[in-house]
């Protein structure tokens, strides 16, 4: 029998086959998502909503890549995203989309301090 600890409830290891890494490269990676990552500040929540609106207005794509091994999704709607359909993408195309999203974010979310422009 395994016993859960407080750390088991408050953290989770997340693995991704296509993760955006420093310098704009794309590759597999892993990170720890902790309960500490839950945002509660009203000001920060408003800033996140504003940022999401800017990204949707300027960087939204009309389709989404079907995950590897899920070719049956091609041509079907993406759940929770009205009007967006799955399309077939190669690994290189999906990686290119991540890099393009990073560049779009750097253009649209730059601040006076330039924190988003740093590689």
Q: What average pLDDT does this structure show over 23-28?
A: 81
Digit-coded pLDDT (tens) for 37-61 = 667 778 888 888 888 888 888 888 8
Cα Rg of the chain, angstroms: 17
Mean pLDDT computed over every residue of the chain? 79
pTM over 0.75? The answer is no
Tell the residue number behind the tokens 């999906």, with chain if given: 94
Q: How confident is the model at residue 71 (pLDDT cuts 50, 70, 90)?
A: confident
Cα distances (Å, whole numbers) of residue 64 to 9, 54, 94, 95? 32, 19, 9, 12
Q: How confident is the model at residue 105 (pLDDT cuts 50, 70, 90)?
A: confident
Instruction: Give 34's contacts (C-beta < 8 A, 6+ positions apart).
Output: 10, 11
Q: Return the closest-CA partner of residue 100 out of 112, 90, 108.
A: 108
């Amino acid at each position: 029998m395994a016993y859960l600890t407080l750390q088991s409830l408050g953290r989770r290891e997340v693995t991704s086959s296509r993760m955006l890494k420093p310098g704009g490269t794309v590759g597999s990676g892993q990170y720890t998502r902790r309960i500490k990552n839950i945002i509660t500040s009203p000001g920060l929540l408003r800033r996140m909503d504003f940022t999401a609106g800017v990204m949707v207005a300027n960087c939204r794509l009309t389709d989404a890549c079907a995950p590897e091994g899920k070719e049956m999704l091609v041509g079907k709607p993406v759940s929770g995203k009205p009007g967006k359909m799955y399309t077939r993408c190669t690994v290189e195309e999906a990686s290119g989309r991540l890099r393009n999203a990073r560049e779009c974010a750097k253009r649209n979310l730059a601040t006076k301090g330039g924190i988003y422009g740093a590689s």
